[in-house]
Every structure is written in C-alpha cells, then in structure tokens.
Structure 1
Amino acid sequence: PDAIYAYDPVLVGERGAVLLRPGKDVRLGEPDALVADLERAGVPVVGRIEAPGTVEGGDTLWLDRETLLVGHGYRTNAAGIGQLAAAFSDAEVIVFDLPHWNGEAEVMHLMSLISPLDDDLALVYPRLAPVRLLQLLHERGIETVEVPDEEFETMGANVLALGPRCVLALEGNDETRLRMEQAGVEVRTYRGDEISRKGDGGPTCLTRPLLRG
C-alpha cells in the first residue's frame, strides 16, 4: 500500500531522474516500477542509489534549482546521501540530522517538517525543525508560516504547492490553513481519510513532480 506515495522512490533534477532506494524493505521494488512511466513522460533515468545506501524522497527538498536539502534519519543514511550528492554534483547539497521523534518504526521525513509555498515562503513546524534549517531559510530570505503544535501530527506541515502561493492540503488543519491564507496563500483541500490519514502520507507524498515551474 505504500506504493501510492510516489514521492519516495525517485528524485528528479535538471538532468533527469535518480532512482532512490527506500529505507523500508517492502518498498525496495518501487523505484524500478516507475522506470517505464518516467520514460513515457520523457524523463531519462540518470542514476540510482545502490546498497548499502538508502534515500527516500520525503527526505529531499529542492529549495531552488541549485540547492538540494536532505534529511539524515532512519530512512536516509550517510551512504545514500553520499551517492545522492554525487548524482547531483552540480547542486549544493545541504544535509540536516532529523529528530528521533517516536523512533525508527514511525517515519520522520524532512518533509514532515517543511513544505515550500513559494520561492520566498515555506510552511514549517519549528519545534522539531533542525536549527540549521531555520537559519538557512532566514539567510536565504525565505519567510515562514508556522504549523501549530496541535496540527503537526495531523500532517498540517504536509502541503503540496500547485503553484506560487497556491497549495493542496488535508482538510481539518484549520489553524494552519488560516495562517497560510493570512500570508496570501490560496489553500485547496481534500478529505484524504483513506489515502492519506491511514497511511500517514499527505498530498506531497502522493505525488512526484517531474518539472519545476
């Protein structure tokens, strides 16, 4: 059932796609299953993460065209990050240690903590975000909308940017939605009771963007 979360098995950059290697054993077949779809979409496969490396897409985020953020945690390890940096050698790869949270059995991805809303705006849960990540956003002139504590575990921080300041979010995180709207963001919602809440995968997890607008 995790295969519906298409964000994790592959990462797409300027030159093409790199097949990742999920840190969850039952997902190891997912990257190869996407190859035919990538080829039909005209996206060349330019690399692959090999054992013992592991990388999941949820631990990666393109901050801009030249900057790739990567979370080092239970699903993405040092060997995988090294291979990823080599595959995207023309990018600045910045790595952050992720919090233990509830342990290895409960995934904590980098994108559990941050979602881009625009080139200069991001949705963030600051209480668990790495200090260096918050500092980097400030240094790059990226303002933040903060997710309240009571809406973190209901995936308030997981929204999908459909365009600049236009996002898709799960229903029910009303305070997070209000804060985004106050920052000038158009928020569209969906129920997600089955495909999101039961698998802990928000709208970002359900997609794999191929082109950056």
Structure 2
Amino acid sequence: MDGFGSASMWGELRRVLVRRPLAEDAVAWEAYGWRAAPEVAAAQAEHEAFCSHLADAGAEVVVSEHDPGNPDAIYTYDPTLVGRGGAVLLLPGKEGRRNEPEATVATFEAAGVPVVGRVDLPATVEGGDTVWLDGETLLVGIGYRTNPAGVEALRAAFPGVEVISFDLPHWNGAGEVMHLMSFISPLDRDLALVYPRIAPTRLMWLLADRGIRVIEVPDEEFETQGPNVLALGPRRALALEGNDETRRRMERAGVDVVTYRGDEISRKGDGGPTCLTRPLLRV
C-alpha cells in the first residue's frame, strides 16, 4: 500500500503530518491574531502529548518544523489537501500563511507523498474550508479565506470528484477565522458532528439526503471548538478537552472519544485537533 491517499475524513488514520511548535513562533503571536502569547515549553509539551494520542491510535506521525516564526504553521490542515493521488498545495486567504504550502514540499517529498497540484492567485483556498464527505465528494466553504476561484481550482485539481460549495456566514468578519470545519466534523460514513445554528441550509439538506445522522453541538460549546474533532477512524474521535456535553453526545451516539489538553496549541490560536493535523493516509 502507498504511504498516502486520503479521500475521507473518517477512515482509519494511518499516516498524519504535524508541525512542532517552535520557540521562534511565539514572538509573532499578535501579528497572526492569536488570543495570547503561547508559552513555548507548555505548547511543546501539549503537542508532544497530542502526537502520542495519534500514535496510540495507530497512526505514523510525520513531524515537520517548516516555516519557523509562523505560529499558525502548527495548523497543518490548512496549507495543503491530500487526495488519493497525492498532495495539492493550496493558497491560504490569510496573507501571513502564504509561504506555508511551498514550505511543506520538502516534508512531503521526504515522506514519499507526491505533490500533484498547486492553487495560484487569484484563487485562494484554506484547508479548513474543505471537507471530504466521502471519496467522491468534497465540500468547500466560500468565505473570507476561500474564494469562488478557489472552488474552481479544486475542481481542476481533483478531476472526477464532485465539489460542492457553500457560502459561509460573515460571523465576526474577516479578522476572525470562520471555516467550513468550524461547524462540521465527519465521524463516520453516516455520522457527523455539526453546529447547525450557522450551518448553511443546503449543507443540512445534503447531509439528510446522504443519510448522514447529525450530532448537534450545544450553543455554549461552539466557540470553545466543540464542533472541531478529529476522526481517528469510524466512530473514534480525538477532541479538545473541556467540551463535556459535546463529548457526552458523541458517546451516546456510539463514538469512542479521547480528549487532549490544548490550552496553548488550540485555545490561544483557535485551532482544534483537525487543524493540527494533515492526514496523509486513511483506509
């Protein structure tokens, strides 16, 4: 089996790319819009424990240190998208992250993952706006980070895939990230965690039409990243600790949930477990 290929978000996670927090990242926290400065030693300890959860679940963890000085670089989901054929370098809408896609190339090459495409201006796409619903369906959110030209670029990069786009809410404007994955995380072929209050109506219709059951995130756990969980496999999830009602609702739906501490790596930078990973291989 090749060491790459990821066209679902709920298959067994076998290989995953992460980027370690670096000391030089912390000084740029304000420029990148973090809520507070990360404490370097604590962030590195949290990240190490997070990686241990991934390894315990059976995944090979590929660790990178690309783009030093950029605190957002730990959120490896955003600059690239991996499909069955390899990696496509995206182009983040956030200008401070524009170096990240090319910076990952050496890591992909070392991991044996071919780079098969690139998104170029005027198109912009961030990975957080992309959701593999299944191997033939890619959902894309259009907002302040991903534009309509980006949707067309993804259609060209993934021929044969049905690319379905949705307009995202304005929420708090361009200065605060709102990705498609801010309110949906697939957990299995027929199960997804969703915050429906701001989900596009057409998305809710699509989930119903595809027979996908929805676990609703409560209002009080939306802004603490309750909807952002990483599927380690069908009905197995890694979630940020503290969203206890969301965890209970997943468990009642038959999901095995493991939690991690993310005060430094998740809460301060608004990036949950999905954001911290770029799946390279799911089966």
Q: What TM-score, normalized to structure 1?
A: 0.99
Q: Which amino acid aligns with 1:54?
A: T
Count of aligned pairs: 213
For 1:72, the aligned partner's letter is I
Question: How far 1:11 moved relative to its partner?
Answer: 0.3
Amino acid at match of 2:237: V
The runs of at least 4 consecutive aligned structure 1 residues that moved more than 2 Å come to: none
Residue 59 in 1 paired to residue 129 in 2?
yes
* Aligned equivalents of 1:186, 1:41: Cα separation in 2: 29
**Which residue of the other structure, out of 181, 193, 211, is the alignment partner of 1:141?**
211
Matches within 5 A, 1:1-213: 1-213=71-283
CA–CA separation in structure 1 for the residues paired with 2:210 and 2:261: 34
Deviation per residue, 1:8-32 (Å, 9 max, x gap):
0000111111100000111000001
TM-score by length of 2: 0.75
Deviation at 1:89, TM superposition (A): 1.5
- For residues 140-185 of structure 1, what are the alpha-carbon distances to aligned partners after superposition, in whole Å with 9 as ceiling and x for unaligned? 0110100000000000000000011010001110000000000000
Q: Give the fraction of aligned pairs with identical amino acids, expressed as a percent.
A: 76
Q: Matched residue of 1:62: which SS?
A: strand
The secondary structure found in structure 2 opposite 1:58 is helix
Compute the displacement of 1:212 (Å).
Answer: 2.1
Say which one has the larger Rg: 2
Q: Distance in 2 between matches of 1:89 and 1:205?
A: 25
Q: Which moved more, 1:57-66 or 1:40-49?
A: 40-49
Distance in structure 1 (CA, Å) of the matches to 2:202 and 2:281: 28
RCO higher in structure (CA 8 A, sep ≥6): 2
Please list every run of 5 or more consecutive structure 2 residues that lacks an aligned counterpart in the other structure: 1-70
**Equivalent position SS for 1:127:** helix
